[in-house]
Amino acid sequence: MKQAIIFDLDGTLLNTLDDLYSSVNHALAKFNLPVRSKWEVRSFLGNGIRRLVEHALPEGCDPILTEKVFNEFRAYYLEHSLDCTQPYEGIIPMLHQCKALGLKTAIVSNKLDMAVQDLHQRFFADCIDVAIGETPDVKRKPAPDMVMKAIEMLPCQHDEAVYVGDSEVDLATAHNASLPCIAVSWGFRDKEFLIEQQAKTIIDNPKQLIDSLQTLEIKS
């Protein structure tokens, strides 16, 4: 069985959608711009908060206004990022099972590293070993840099690791890092979409993760 699991954060371990949705629409409304549906905001997630705001803005938005909306979003989100955010049901027991089995675990996220470290300490300090967010010296996903850094920090051998995520960005990240990927269907992308993106292994419940690790071993 694989000995290390590298997790995406938003949409995989944490349900952050409601707080991101509220923050996006707060920033848009502040500047009298059309607000977005929760479904639209969900579809914009996966590439970090700047890309989220850029997607939410009307097409052709002035760069100066874009920066103002982004700064308003970021300030509001920092104050309200934990209003509704919680681990998905079943995540904490699954992570404790991983720990009991002696598996090494890491988070890699396109969130700013400061926010990732805070969320790691708040929700996962006792069950995830390493957390890595966006910094100037590490390229964002889908570049493999965060994953490679996690492998180094854990530490583990490359062929001992597997990547777990919920979006096309995560599938691409795993591919670029030459790791097998387990996609989860409870996050920001539907199962049908993940199948269209050629996800080979999809789980519908955190309880299925350990069995999926064993299945990966059989396939390899």
Q: Which pLDDT score is estimated for 47?
A: 86
The mean pLDDT value for 77-87 works out to 94
pLDDT of 219 strictly over 60: no
Please give the tally of structural domains in the chain: 2
For 16-25, how does the pLDDT look when each residue is reduced to its tens digit (9 = 90+)?
999 999 999 9
Q: Is the peptide bond before 142 cis (omega within 30 degrees of 0)?
A: yes
CATH number, residue 165 = 3.40.50.1000
Among candidate residues 60, 80, 100, the one where a domain is terminated: 80
Among candidate residues 80, 106, 135, the one where a domain is terminated: 80
Residue found under tokens 């549906």: 37
With beta carbons less than 8 A apart as the criterion, state whether 56 and 77 touch: no
Judging by DSSP bridges, how do beta strands 86-87 and 14-15 pair with one another? antiparallel
* Containing structural domain, residue 124: 4-15+86-219
Residues 159 and 64 in one domain: no
Residue found under tokens 């920090």: 153
Residues 215 and 188 in one domain: yes
Q: Which pLDDT score is estimated for 71?
A: 97
The mean pLDDT value for 74-96 works out to 95
For 176-188, how does the pLDDT look when each residue is reduced to its tens digit (9 = 90+)?
999 999 999 999 9
DSSP 161-185: EEEEESSHHHHHHHHHTT--EEEES
**What does the mean pLDDT of the chain come to?**
95
Query: Which burial class, exposed, middle or buried, applies to 35 when counting CB atoms under 10 A from its CB (0-12, 13-18, 19+)?
Result: middle
CATH number, residue 60 = 1.10.150.240
Q: Is the pTM higher than 0.75?
A: yes
Q: Which pLDDT score is estimated for 92?
A: 98
DSSP 115-139: HHHHHHHHHSTTT--EEEEEBTTBP
Is 19 in a helix, a strand, or coil?
A: helix
For 85-95, how does the pLDDT look when each residue is reduced to its tens digit (9 = 90+)?
999 999 999 99
Q: Which pLDDT score is estimated for 48?
A: 87
pLDDT of 5 strictly over 80: yes
Residues 74 and 103 in one domain: no
Q: Which pLDDT score is estimated for 115?
A: 87
Residues 36 and 103 in one domain: no
